[in-house]
Amino acid sequence: MIPFRRGRDGLKLTLPEHERALLADLVAQLVSVLEGGDPGDPAVARLLPSAYPDDEEAAAEFRRFTADDLTARKVANARRVLDDLGPPPTSRLDEAAQQSWLRTLTDLRLVLGSRLGVTDEGPAPTDDPQLLVMHDVFDWLGYLQESLVQALTG
């Protein structure tokens, strides 16, 4: 089953119920990471990276002027995705929803990637069965994202 397909009036979203539930659970966690806004959390640092890595003063000023707005927009995107996941689930995504989905899937993968220690070689090796499940989840989110980008550009 292809999750995202281009239709006449926007994108058609097809996700089985258990996948919608899993995604909703993850997106709700993303919202709490964003609202927590702990600057010491590496995942938060990746969501709001420094704009001036070599200039602390300029970086702090940029953060002061942008971090709240960026966080609010990320939270709004995530809430839009939660709404679409339902219940009741939405099957058509208009342009605004498509943009929210793109960004939320990205933010979710960035947070999970940070938690799993993802490098160019993939997630950090582990024997922990729970983490291994999250590796699959990370791959699955990548599949969803790829499907969405293909539907928008293909």
Partner 1 sequence: MVDHLNASRDPSSIPPRAGAREARRRSCGPPRRGTLGGVTQTLDDTRVGTETDPRLLVAPDRPWVTLVWDDPVNLMSYVSYVFRSYFGYSARESERLMMQVHTTGRAVVATGPREEMERHVEAMHDFGLWATVSKADE
Phi, psi of 3 (to 5 degrees): -65, -40
Spatial separation of the C-alpha atoms in residues 71 and 77, rounded to whole Å: 10
Q: Which is nearer to partner 1, 119 or 130 (CB)?
A: 119
Measured in whole angstroms, the distance separating CA 91 from the mean position of its chain's CA atoms is 19
Measured from the CB atom, the residue of 73 and 92 that comes closer to partner 1 is 73
Longest dimension (CA), the chain: 50
CB of 123 to partner 1, least distance (A): 10
Chain residues in the site for partner 1 (CB under 8 A): 46-54, 58, 62, 66, 69-70, 73-74, 102-103, 106-107, 109-110, 113, 118-120, 142, 145-146, 149-150, 152-153
Distance (Å, whole) CA 14 – CA 24: 14
Q: How many CB atoms lie within 10 A of CB 8?
A: 6
Minimum CB–partner distance for residue 120 and partner 1 (Å) = 5
CB nearer to partner 1: pick between 3 and 113? 113
Closest distance to partner 1 from the beta carbon of 119 (Å): 5
Neighbouring-strand partners of residue 92: 12
Nearer to partner 1, 17 or 139 (CB): 139
Min separation Cβ 10 and partner 1, Å: 16
